């Protein structure tokens, strides 16, 4: 599943840089980013992931966690202008037994 997320990340960045990348030294790049609605749709369609929570950082960046019924998860950071970047992804998500125990509720 992790490899599939890697492939999705590559698709988010686009394929315009593939040919030049093959002919040059690899460039240091940040995380894969794209417009938020596109990223959310890809997570839903490709992995069955839905947003289960979010938090707003002081900087204005929105952090969102997406989880699937099979346990895959993705953490996104979305800028105030709507660009979402993949921060992390994995498997074996284990929800807390009592979500109402959060202090913010």
Backbone angles phi and psi of 21, in degrees to 5? -65, -30
Residue 104 lies in a domain: no
5-19 pLDDT tens trace: 544 554 554 433 433
Number of domains in the chain: 1
Residue 100 lies in a domain: no
CA distance linking residue 22 with residue 42, whole number of Å: 26
22-74 pLDDT tens trace: 445 455 577 789 999 999 999 999 999 999 999 999 999 999 999 999 999 99
Residue 97 lies in a domain: no
Handedness of CA 66, 37, 61, 29 (dihedral sign): positive
Range of the structural domain that residue 53 is part of: 2-13+31-92
Residue 26 lies in a domain: no
Residue 51 lies in a domain: yes
Q: How confident is the model at residue 96 (pLDDT cuts 50, 70, 90)?
A: confident
As to burial, measured by CB atoms within 10 angstroms (0-12 exposed, 13-18 middle, 19+ buried), residue 16 is exposed
């Amino acid at each position: 599943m992790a490899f599939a997320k890697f492939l999705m990340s590559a698709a988010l960045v686009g394929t315009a840089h593939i040919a030049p990348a093959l002919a040059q030294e690899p460039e240091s790049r940040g995380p894969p980013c794209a417009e938020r609605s596109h990223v959310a749709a890809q997570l839903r369609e490709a992995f069955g992931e839905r947003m289960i929570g979010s938090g707003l950082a002081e900087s204005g960046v929105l952090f969102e966690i997406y989880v699937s019924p099979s346990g895959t998860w993705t953490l996104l950071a979305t800028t105030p202008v709507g660009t979402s970047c993949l921060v992390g992804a994995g498997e074996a998500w284990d929800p807390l037994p009592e979500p109402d125990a959060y202090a913010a509720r």
